[in-house]
Each structure stands twice: as C-alpha cells, then as structure tokens.
Structure 1
C-alpha cells in the first residue's frame, strides 16, 4: 500500500516537468509528510492539455452520502481496480499522475514497534504514482478525490511490505493519462528491482503531525548528529 509520502519539488518546476498548466491554488511544498485526506498534487489530461491541480487523497465513490460514509479509499489494487464498483469507471476514463519525491512504509520490531522506512528513486528523479480520480458531488460543493494504484511489491521492496505504488515512467505518462490510446493496463506493475533505494528513518514520522526534512534523513545520520 501507500499511506504516506513526501513531495519537495517546487510547484512551478513540477508544472514544467509535466508540461501542465498549474492551478491557482496548489498544496504547499516542500511537504515531507503527506497524509491521507489532505490535498495532494495531481496531473490530469483535459481536452488535449495537461493540468496540475489539487485533489483530496481519499477516493469517495458516488454512493457515499458523506466522505466518511465508508472505508477510506486511499489505494486501489491494480489486480482488481478494473472490477471494483468504486473504481472501474475511473480507471477507464479518469486516470491521473500523483507526483512524489518518495514514500514511507513500516516494519515492526520484536516488541511490535513501528519502524519507518523511506523509499525513493535511485536516480533522484521525481516519482509519478499511477492514480485514479472521482468527483463526489453529494456535499455543498463538488469535491475532487483520488487514490493511488498499488501492485505486488518487487523483491527488494517485499522485504519491507508486500505492496507498493505503481510508478509510471515519463515515457508512459501519455499512455496512463489517456493521451496515447489504449493499453494502460500493462503499466500496472512493480518498478524494476534496481529503480528504488530505501533506508530506515526516525520514528518521528509515525505521527501525522510531524514535518521537516529530517523525516527523510537516514536513521544512522540522525543518531550521529550532535543535536539528535
């Protein structure tokens, strides 16, 4: 799964990278602790033009009477996304990219303590998670919501967690966004074994209120710091 991530690229640089027109109001960056139900950056393709906008991370199906009327849908499984009632229309016609610098996962020690890890691209490039989106219009104002598509982890990642986000490479952005015809289903697979790096980070990030660049620093660097 993917339940927390970081995004550090400035909004103007993000818009330039994706060749997308930026919305007037975008989430603040850098954010080293992006949490579910908050607004996240989302790239969509609309009438032959890309848009960098903002959506609530937490997909809300049309039949929910309120945003909390059912489970919080922050992820959609690649293996079942085309069949699930909540997601099947979106994966056909409303696919998006969700930019990230890296993401977090957790293991547990012998005492059950949650030990966070930070996973990021080895080449330093920005990640583009495969996403789907939905407008929920049962409230006072329509709400744009999204979920991250996940798949079975590759061997390296499986040592930490059995799931990981689907990462779309730049060459495949047009296909996932629906700009390059059909066949996006083939993109819903794990990143190559050598594409990602990971390291343990401090348990401060276990709190959804934590912030700051220290959240992604390797644990051994923090322990060696005179201020740790």
Structure 2
C-alpha cells in the first residue's frame, strides 16, 4: 500500500490549478507554509483540500489516524462505499507531485526493496482522493485531532505490474464534484487509464 508521497508543491501553482478546476479556496487557518519535500510518510503533516459548509479550504493535517488495532489508517479501501461530508468527516483532495510503490528487489542480494516513483505525465501535480476525519472523543475537538487517509481502488495498467492496489487518482474535471459530493464515489474512483502515469526508479 502507498505509505510515501512526494510533495514538491508551489502554493500559487496549486491555487491556480484548483481555480482552473472551478474551486475557489478559503484559508481558515491562513495560507499554509508548504515546504517542498520529496518524501512525506505516514504520520507526517501534509496539505489537503476539503469542503466545509460549502466552502473549499486548504489546511494541513496529519496523514493517518489510529485504527482499532492501534495501527495507523493511512490507506482505505473505496469499494462499496460512498463517502459523504459531515461535521466530523468528509471527502478531501490530497495534492502531490508523485507517489511511491515498492517491489521485491531485482537483485537478490539487495537488502532493500526496489522503489518506484509515479507521476502524472502531463501535469506538475495531481490529486489523490482522500477522506479526512475528526476524533470526536477528543477534548477539545479541534484541528489537532483531525487526520486524513488516502483512498485506494483496483490498479490501472500503469500500476498493476508494481502493486495489486493503487491510490485513487482524480483528474481535474472530477475535483469539484468530489469535494462537494455531487459525484458518487463509485463514479469518481476507479483504475487510472493506461498511459496516465510515468514511472521511474527512485533511489
């Protein structure tokens, strides 16, 4: 499962791309200070875009929340679910410029798995469909107790040789409908068509 992404994002470019997709942003917590990094891992904070009371906003939240077994919930299966926005959880976009998958090493003597970087071929960044959630038991129930996870689906042809699942990637024409809930999840989420992604060996 995907447990690492690349987030070399420029905030102005991110805002412009969202505006071109018909999404006008609010900044309830101020403009986020995005530090461009090649590696964001589970439990790290990262930016998400979500809709609260009909207003799209960009905020920074932790990647993963604690599961019932104590393990972090950093990926979440999308099949059979239609995620809706509420006071304590909802849909979000997770902007990245790449994500990583790992395979058994081609060199049998290697101690580490082979690492692969996937990028959207014709765009400087793209969006993963996500779900954000608030811990309602926490007091006070504020941003410190909110986190997000990445939704997953069956893999498309670009990813299938590397992993049996893929993070759910949304093209720009589905971003607004995903956020406001007007597109049912089964219609928005599915395998990425062949040729959408470029893959390269990373490290």
Structures share a fold, TM > 0.5? yes
2:77 — aligned with what?
77
State the SS of the aligned residue for 2:158: helix
Deviation track 1:56-103 (CA, whole Å, cap 9, x = no partner) reads 110346xx6xxxx622100111225x2xxxxx7xx2221010000000
State the SS of the aligned residue for 2:15: helix
161, 167, 171: which one aligns with 1:165: 167
- CA 46–2 in structure 1, closer or farther in 2 if over 3 Å, else same: same
Is residue 42 from structure 1 mapped to residue 48 from structure 2 by the alignment? yes
Is residue 101 from structure 1 mapped to residue 107 from structure 2 by the alignment? no
1:29 — aligned with what?
35
Task: Return the offset for 1:182.
Answer: 4.5
Task: Return the offset for 1:25.
Answer: 6.0
Q: Which moved more, 1:38-47 or 1:133-142?
A: 133-142
Mapping of residues 6-155 of structure 1, within 5 Å: 6-18=6-18, 19-22=24-27, 23-24=29-30, 26=32, 28-60=34-66, 70-80=70-80, 82=81, 91-93=83-85, 94-109=90-105, 110-111=108-109, 113-142=112-141, 143-155=145-157
Question: Using the alignment, how far apart are the partners of 1:10 and 1:3 within structure 2?
Answer: 22
| Greater strand share, structure number | 2
8 Å CA contact retained: 2:157, 2:192: no
Question: Using the alignment, how far apart are the partners of 1:198 and 1:128 within structure 2?
Answer: 17
8 Å CA contact retained: 1:27, 1:40: no
Q: If you compute each CA radius of gyration, which structure gives the higher value, 1 or 2? A: 1
Task: Return the offset for 1:8.
Answer: 1.3
| Greater helix share, structure number | 1
Task: Return the offset for 1:173.
Answer: 1.0
Q: Runs of at least 4 residues of structure 1 off by over 6 A?
A: none
1:186 — aligned with what?
187
Q: How many pairs does the alignment contain?
A: 187
Task: Return the offset for 1:54.
Answer: 1.0
8 Å CA contact retained: 1:9, 1:30: yes
